Structure 1
């Protein structure tokens, strides 16, 4: 997480809040809430401040703002952290419509001179941008957006020492550190009951990253449901926690939230609340590139596998409980009949060797893959077996990915293009 040296070096401290936030060419000594209430700047003395630069026309701002809201609400009980919105909007109506979704303070839209002054002062070149100041006005970080995405409210009080502590803790995760937040130590059952995370400890737990508006998630859920019910019938101790991944900006969030709640009611397991502060943190931590994703946490609280979706689709019940040993044996059977080496026109410099990987990105279709890849060690080049062998895989493969999966991938790719197109239209 590289800091913006220009901010840290050129703005060593802002202990005069009136000079920092007050009117540039007026006597304004207040900030405003979205209700119109005026809050005296002097009341912010002794608080940590997040100076939040964003604009309603920025898709990434509209994606990030709900997560910052969740973190702000979790920290509100402390009473010593405040966010000040500095808008880059040029239209008052757009500013007010966007600010209506924010529970914090703002530089008045009418004070465009101060808004521009702050942008120049902090060297803002992109949005969203979040600078965090300590209670003495010292800059703690200019990487507030990345910190909120990565650590959520657990990054508080956002000091360098705390961030280093969180980085070290992330190297040895446990089920509790994964699911519990400062304001919540439970998950929600499909009937809305609060279930303590402690009741899940000692079991195999699947973290199901799911978007209620994304086709591949809707297609996989019935398979996961069948898999889960079979294991329960067998007496296995497995639990699943659905983690909602928004597919849209907060402009469409209300409809998506209702869809998420409705679908969760039909899943016989648990979930995190919609837009929970942990959701983005976990998506960031597990570096999700594709949905659906199913992270498996073993009874010992350690990560068994980072995505069991393909394991369930390819192997079904025999993949359980997804230990490296179990998956390795299945993978050995899977590769039966495949050549150990191939030459491929996408990489004709060297032979590609069949190699086992926990995960990789295929340089052919650019999709994330798991288990076997045809690999060039010299160049770091990977190909899925389906991309390297094509139709030959159908004839010789031992139960691995099939052309049907390739069709599904192309369908997913088309859906992704449609989603991106819609986002561009809203930009």
Structure 2
């Protein structure tokens, strides 16, 4: 009951089972509709209502006018991201990119007046001009439930597209990760751009960059040279991993099991190992017994690959299987996960790439929290 009161406030009265059930159902319905909600619904306002500027110089703007713009709904928990958001807001204005900030006080770290005073002082100090919703306990608690701000206890920003065209729950995370390049700070827009770039990456472009000093060849299990040109027109998996002995070598062990099954399904299929190097200076003996092809190492480390073209900005190097189709185009950046979930039926990984990217972008939550 205590946690329910904290999240719903006076709405829990008269504290009966029926009331609690009713509140739970209301929240459930709201979450199901969250991507279709417009600014006035989220703020419990009418479209004819007005929001006032934080600096009293820019006057006011109607909720209806704001709804026609890209709006960042800044749920200010402690003001920790206030200057960061203002930095990108100013960058957008300087480039003529339409972007308005609406700030909502989320006073869950202390008394309401204390938070308002602290945030207002910061707004004045940094000469920030945003639209501000006067504190409304009902609205703040409702937003915290819809977007889990109360439980994370961190500032959040929801990006609302013009005329309710999209709602991005990870607006702050996208902004901090991509900066002004991420405008309008929605994952779907970033995915579209990144997907287009990844679709231009070919097996040949990756392997030729790696193998340039080796006259464009890789090595088979016996150490004999195999020209990169012989891999074109075939289903290929690039196996990226560290050379160090590790107590857990899941991808390696799984690939040893999958490799003969994949070869049985497609005799022309092949795996090419690319080393991340051996940070501890020791090479696991297993890598000298690999049944598949490999880029010559130690000189064939992944620094010879343009890693940025294969991975997202915040990702570190990790063991993975990257699949290319017979057309030489990228099919999957997480082929090992699909093989683990769907078995050999996942091969040759048609239609996975775009879906993977949306799942990868959900990791932004963990990246920040």
- Name the TM-score class by shorter chain: 0.3 to 0.5
TM-score under structure 2 length normalisation: 0.47
Identify the structure with bigger relative contact order (alpha carbons < 8 Å, sequence gap 6+): 2
TM-score under structure 1 length normalisation: 0.42
Larger Rg: 2
From the two aligned structures, give the one with the greater strand fraction. Answer: 1
